[in-house]
């Protein structure tokens, strides 16, 4: 327990007077409300030393005090020593566990509450719903929100707006957006938290018009709500320009962008390769104190690289006061994809040897891609093998696909095929697409045929470009009967080559 205080209350003699109980209660409440609650823990030390048995009111205040101090073990001890656990004591401790991320412990306490015969109230259910949406709790079923909702109905707990908000958020995060919408429509007041959850849910499943409808109907907006729209739009080329429009609108309405805002808007500029707009956002960012953030630096490097402005990306990288693995990876990837594979591999080496930063899965993917563009087969193989050997990172399917592409680009098609056959897992469509692409480039009809058959078995309709590439390879080899048969198959399956387009910004006006 905490150390004894310099000055303590006189130990109570015989029966405890009401005045001492009142004094203890007031003192505990003072520290609960203060900016320095740990000082109040000394009162508990005195109580223990004096042999005084606190009543339920004092015990619950001690419980709250320890929770305010983050002392979960002391709080649990007070709870367990209560002569009878009350609903409020359960609620306080459940909330304390959740605040500290101890979700399993909170659910264990909920089970104990139900078994004790206590009836959970709105506050209990709102906390359980919040716990059901916590990331990383694998053991919880995705239908838990519905189960909790059913319990609320059975227990005759009338939801209020707080509980409706928790239900909406739970349903959204568990992928039940229609259930969430039903709850949302039942809320008396369309609060901004509810609206933000609904917008995120709709955007995640591509229901952009529904998200826009919620956004329009929300009268009281905040930055988080705007961010939900900006982020949702930024995820696809089709809607990315919407991010920029909402970004402009929020500033017209005097809402200040934050880190999440800038990250999403810069992401939209990356998707659209809008260099000049990205520069303007960068300038706006520089006027805030946020430009020093590592996340912003990495996002800007990625944006400039995707716009083909690798020198601007390097300038951002060089001026970052602090870098992490994501910053290095963004720059390595930028060099590799803009025709500077040697610089990418040099940076990959410097990052590890000079700065002792361990590469992650994406870093290795960028380095392997750079080797592919440079035709460095031996270097690529060495990097691939170092993943597991030096960093205990088991290569993923995308790394195998990158190696097949690397070998195939170099003309080692047989070796690429053998590499795919020796994979610990069955090759996916990306692996076969890489081999087909290389076979097409090198005019190897036999290998193209092998890769195409495997690819079309796995993904018969999802890769129209692969059909076209294979058809062109057959045509170049003069195998016209096979070309006609393949194109007939494409027609029957409704597969056609998509119209090509470029999103590189060329309008300087």
Average pLDDT value for residue range 64-69: 91
Mean pLDDT of the chain: 84
Rg (CA), the chain: 31
More confidently predicted of 31 and 363: 363
pLDDT of residue 270: 93
In a domain, 381, yes or no: no
User: 72 is in which domain, residue-wise?
Assistant: 1-10+17-84
In a domain, 271, yes or no: yes
In a domain, 357, yes or no: no
Instruction: Please give the backbone phi and psi of residue 452, each rounded to the nearest 5 degrees, phi first.
Output: -65, -45
Residue 382 has pLDDT above 70, yes or no: yes
More confidently predicted of 175 and 486: 175
pLDDT of residue 494: 56
Residues 241 and 205 in one domain: no
In a domain, 392, yes or no: no
- Of all residues in the chain, the percent with pLDDT exceeding 90 is 48
More confidently predicted of 189 and 277: 277
Q: Which of 180-184, 228-232, 449-453 has the highest mean pLDDT?
A: 228-232
pLDDT of residue 493: 58
Residue 371 has pLDDT above 60, yes or no: yes
Chain CA centroid to CA 497, Å: 33
Residues 191 and 239 in one domain: no
Helix spans in 287-396 (H): 294-306, 310-319, 325-337, 341-353, 361-374, 377-391
pLDDT of residue 289: 82
Per-residue pLDDT tens digits for 401-425: 999 999 999 999 999 999 999 999 9
Residue 233 has pLDDT above 90, yes or no: yes
Average pLDDT value for residue range 24-51: 84
More confidently predicted of 51 and 68: 68
Per-residue pLDDT tens digits for 135-147: 444 444 455 667 7
Number of domains making up the chain: 4
Residues 40 and 78 in one domain: yes
DSSP structure string for 237-272: TTTHHHHHHHHHHHHHTTPPP-HHHHHHHHHHHHHH
Task: With cut-offs at 50, 70 and 90, classify the pLDDT of residue 227.
Answer: very high
pLDDT of residue 140: 47
Chain CA centroid to CA 283, Å: 27
Task: With cut-offs at 50, 70 and 90, classify the pLDDT of residue 444.
Answer: confident
Average pLDDT value for residue range 25-45: 86
Residue 430: name the closest of 439, 440, 420, 422 by CA: 420
In a domain, 229, yes or no: yes
Average pLDDT value for residue range 58-80: 91
Residue 386 has pLDDT above 90, yes or no: yes
pLDDT of residue 313: 96
Please check whether residue 374 is in contact with residue 342, taking contact to mean a CB–CB distance below 8 angstroms: yes
Last residue of a domain, one of 192, 215, 238: 215
Task: With cut-offs at 50, 70 and 90, classify the pLDDT of residue 31.
Answer: confident
Last residue of a domain, one of 288, 322, 356: 322
In a domain, 200, yes or no: yes
Task: With cut-offs at 50, 70 and 90, classify the pLDDT of residue 11.
Answer: very low
Residue 123 has pLDDT above 60, yes or no: yes
pLDDT of residue 359: 97
Residues 226 and 198 in one domain: no
Residue 132: name the closest of 99, 167, 170 by CA: 170
More confidently predicted of 61 and 48: 61
Task: With cut-offs at 50, 70 and 90, classify the pLDDT of residue 129.
Answer: confident
Residues 178 and 197 in one domain: yes
Q: Which residues contact 437 (CB under 8 A, 6 or more apart)?
A: 405, 408, 466, 469
In a domain, 101, yes or no: no
Question: Which DSSP letter does residue 34 get?
Answer: S
Per-residue pLDDT tens digits for 287-345: 988 888 999 999 999 999 999 999 999 999 999 999 999 999 999 999 999 999 999 99
Reading the block at residue 125, the tokens are: 């259910």
Please check whether residue 125 is in contact with residue 94, taking contact to mean a CB–CB distance below 8 angstroms: no
The residue assigned the tokens 């080329």 is 237
Q: Which of 20-24, 207-211, 465-469 has the highest mean pLDDT?
A: 207-211
DSSP structure string for 161-215: HHHHHHHHHHHHHTT-HHHHHHHHHH-SS--HHHHHHHHHHHHHTT-HHHHHHHH
DSSP structure string for 435-450: HHHHHHHHT-HHHHHH
pLDDT of residue 42: 85
Residue 356 has pLDDT above 80, yes or no: yes
Sign of the C-alpha dihedral, residues 105, 107, 110, 116? Answer: negative
Residue 179 has pLDDT above 90, yes or no: no
Residues 205 and 227 in one domain: no
Residue 157: name the closest of 13, 166, 489 by CA: 166
pLDDT of residue 187: 76
Last residue of a domain, one of 305, 322, 339: 322
Query: What pTM was computed for the model?
Result: 0.72
């Amino acid at each position: 327990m905490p150390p004894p205080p310099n000055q303590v209350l006189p130990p109570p003699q015989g029966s405890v007077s009401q005045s001492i109980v009142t004094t203890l209660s007031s003192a505990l409440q003072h520290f609960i409300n203060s900016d320095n609650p740990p000082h109040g823990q000394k009162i508990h030390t005195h109580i223990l030393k004096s042999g005084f048995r606190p009543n339920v009111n004092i015990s619950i205040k001690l419980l709250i005090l320890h929770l305010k101090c983050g002392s979960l073990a002391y709080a649990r001890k007070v709870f367990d020593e209560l002569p009878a656990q009350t609903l409020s004591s359960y609620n306080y401790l459940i909330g304390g566990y959740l605040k500290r991320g101890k979700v399993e412990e909170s659910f264990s306490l909920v089970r104990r509450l139900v078994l004790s015969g206590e009836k959970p109230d709105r506050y209990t259910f709102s906390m359980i719903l919040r716990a059901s949406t916590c990331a990383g709790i694998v053991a919880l079923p995705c239908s838990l929100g519905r189960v909790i909702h059913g319990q609320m109905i059975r227990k005759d707990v009338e939801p209020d707006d707080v509980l409706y908000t928790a239900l909406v958020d739970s349903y959204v995060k568990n992928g039940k957006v229609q259930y969430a919408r039903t709850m949302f429509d039942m809320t008396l007041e369309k609060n901004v938290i509810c609206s933000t959850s609904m917008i995120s849910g709709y955007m995640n499943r591509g229901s952009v018009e529904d998200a826009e409808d919620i956004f329009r109907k929300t009268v009281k907006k905040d930055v988080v709500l705007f961010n939900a729209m900006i982020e949702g739009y930024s995820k696809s080329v089709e809607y990315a320009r919407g991010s920029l429009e909402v970004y402009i609108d929020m500033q017209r309405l005097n809402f200040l962008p934050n880190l999440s805002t800038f990250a999403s808007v810069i992401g939209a500029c990356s998707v659209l390769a809008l260099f000049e707009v990205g520069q303007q956002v960068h300038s706006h960012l520089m006027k805030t104190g946020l430009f020093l953030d590592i996340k912003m630096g990495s996002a800007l490097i990625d944006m400039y690289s995707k716009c083909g402005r690798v020198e601007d990306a390097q300038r951002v990288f060089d001026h970052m006061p602090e870098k992490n693995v994501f910053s290095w990876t963004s720059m390595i990837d930028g060099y590799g994809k803009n025709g500077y594979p040697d610089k990418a591999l040099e940076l990959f080496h410097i990052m590890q040897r000079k700065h002792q930063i361990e590469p992650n899965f994406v870093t290795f993917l960028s380095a392997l891609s750079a080797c592919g563009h440079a035709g460095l087969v031996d270097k690529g193989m060495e990097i691939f093998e170092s993943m597991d050997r030096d960093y205990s990172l088991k290569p993923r399917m995308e790394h195998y696909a990158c190696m097949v592409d690397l070998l195939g680009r170099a003309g080692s098609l047989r070796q690429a095929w053998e590499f795919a056959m020796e994979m610990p897992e069955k090759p996916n469509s990306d692996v076969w697409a890489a081999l087909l692409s290389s076979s097409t480039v090198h005019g190897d009809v036999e290998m193209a045929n092998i890769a195409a058959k495997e690819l079309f078995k796995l993904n018969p309709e999802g890769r129209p470009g692969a059909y076209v590439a294979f058809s062109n390879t057959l045509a170049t080899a003069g195998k016209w009967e096979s070309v006609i048969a393949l194109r007939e198959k494409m027609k029957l399956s409704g597969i056609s080559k998509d119209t090509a387009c470029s999103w590189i910004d060329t309008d300087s006006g």
